Structure 1
Amino acid sequence: MNSNLKKRIITSIFLISLLTAMSFYSYIMFISLVVIAIITWIEFYALISKIIKKNLIKDKIYRFFCKALSLFYLAGLVFFILLIETYYSNLKIYLLYSILISIMSDVGGLTVGKIFKGKKLTRISPNKTISGSIGSLIFSIFLIPFFYDKLSYMNLSKVIFLTIMISLISQLGDLFISFLKRKAKVKDTSNILPGHGGILDRIDGIIFAIPFGVYLFMII
Structure 2
Amino acid sequence: MSIAVVILALLGLKEFLQIGQKAGLINRLWPAVVYSILWLAIFLLGRTEWMLPLAIIWFMLTFGSYALRYPNQSLASSTYYFLALIYPVFLFTYLYSLREFGVSWCFLVFLLVWLTDTGAFFVGNTLGKRKLAPKVSPNKTVEGAVGGLVMALVCGFVFWLITKQATLPAILVLSLLTSIASQIGDLFESALKRTAGVKDSGRLIPGHGGILDRFDSFLFALPLVFFSINLGLVG
Q: Distance in 2 between matches of 1:52 and 1:60?
A: 11
Cross-structure match for 2:188 = 176
User: 1:164-203 counterparts in 2 under 5 A?
Assistant: 164-203=176-215
Q: Distance in 2 between matches of 1:190 and 1:78?
A: 17
Secondary structure of the equivalent of 1:111?
Answer: helix
Distance 1:77 1:53, change over 3 A: closer
Q: Whose relative contact order is higher, 1 or 2, with alpha carbons under 8 Å and at least 6 apart?
A: 1
Secondary structure of the equivalent of 2:188?
Answer: helix
Cross-structure match for 1:106 = 117
Q: Distance in 2 between matches of 1:119 and 1:83?
A: 38
TM-score calculated relative to the size of structure 2: 0.69
Kept in 2, the 8 Å contact 1:101–1:143? The answer is yes
Query: Which residue, out of 142, 165, 168, partners 2:154?
Result: 142
Task: Give the Å deviation of 1:58.
Answer: 6.5
Cross-structure match for 1:96 = 107
Q: Percent identity?
A: 30
User: 1:13-28 counterparts in 2 under 5 A?
Assistant: none
Query: Which residue, out of 109, 127, 130, partners 2:142?
Result: 130
Task: Give the Å deviation of 1:68.
Answer: 4.5
Letter in 1 for 2:73: D
Cross-structure match for 1:52 = 24
Deviations 1:76-107 (A, max 9, x none): 3344433443xx3x354333322321121112
Question: Could you say which structure has the larger radius of gyration?
Answer: 2
Task: Give the Å deviation of 1:126.
Answer: 0.7
Q: Unaligned regions of 5+ residues in structure 1, if any?
A: 1-28
Comparing 103-112 with 58-67, greater Cα deviation is found at 58-67
Deviations 1:4-27 (A, max 9, x none): xxxxxxxxxxxxxxxxxxxxxxxx
Cross-structure match for 1:160 = 172
Give the alignment's Cα RMSD to 1 decimal: 2.6
Q: Distance in 1 between matches of 2:104 and 2:13?
A: 26
Distance 1:175 1:144, change over 3 A: same
Secondary structure of the equivalent of 1:204?
Answer: helix
Query: Which residue, out of 13, 19, 24, partners 1:41?
Result: 13
Count the aligned residue pairs.
Answer: 187
Q: Distance in 2 between matches of 1:199 and 1:161?
A: 28
Letter in 2 for 1:111: F
TM-score calculated relative to the size of structure 1: 0.73
Kept in 2, the 8 Å contact 1:170–1:205? The answer is yes
Letter in 2 for 1:70: A
Task: Give the Å deviation of 1:179.
Answer: 1.1
